[in-house]
């Protein structure tokens, strides 16, 4: 049960960081002009490193699933970790423009 709590916490931290970074990227993009806008996605690849937090949460949830197979919360933690990694890797900031 302790692994699940850590996994959920890491996934929520990853989601919060991803949303904060994407909102900031959308604000910066709307203030940028010309060449800066053309290469904006390539200059902000540092956000991809935060997906490691979600991957660690996913690994912990898989370990917990192997130990305790019948708990629904284990599967929900894995789904939350996968969605946090997906949101971190996607270009969500384009939606906010």
Cα-Cα-Cα-Cα torsion 82, 84, 85, 86, nearest 10 degrees, comes to 80
| Predicted TM-score of the model (pTM) | 0.84
The conformation of residue 68, written as its DSSP 8-state character, comes to -
Query: For position 71, what pLDDT does the model report?
Result: 81
* Range of the structural domain that residue 18 is part of: 2-94
The conformation of residue 32, written as its DSSP 8-state character, comes to -
Domains held by the chain: number: 1
Q: Give the phi and the psi of residue 95 in degrees, each rounded to 5.
A: -70, -30
In this structure, what token pair is assigned to residue 21?
């970074």
> pLDDT by residue (tens digit) across 10-67?
999 999 999 998 898 889 888 888 877 777 777 778 888 888 999 999 999 999 888 8
Query: For position 55, what pLDDT does the model report?
Result: 93
């Amino acid at each position: 049960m302790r692994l699940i709590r850590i996994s959920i916490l890491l996934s929520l931290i990853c989601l919060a960081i991803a949303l904060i970074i994407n909102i900031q990227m959308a604000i910066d993009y709307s203030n940028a002009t010309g060449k800066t806008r053309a290469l904006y996605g390539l200059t902000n690849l540092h956000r991809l490193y935060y997906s490691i937090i979600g991957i660690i949460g996913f690994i912990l949830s898989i370990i917990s699933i192997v130990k305790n197979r019948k708990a629904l919360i284990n599967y929900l933690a894995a789904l939350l970790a996968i969605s946090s990694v997906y949101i971190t890797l996607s270009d969500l900031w384009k939606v906010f423009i």
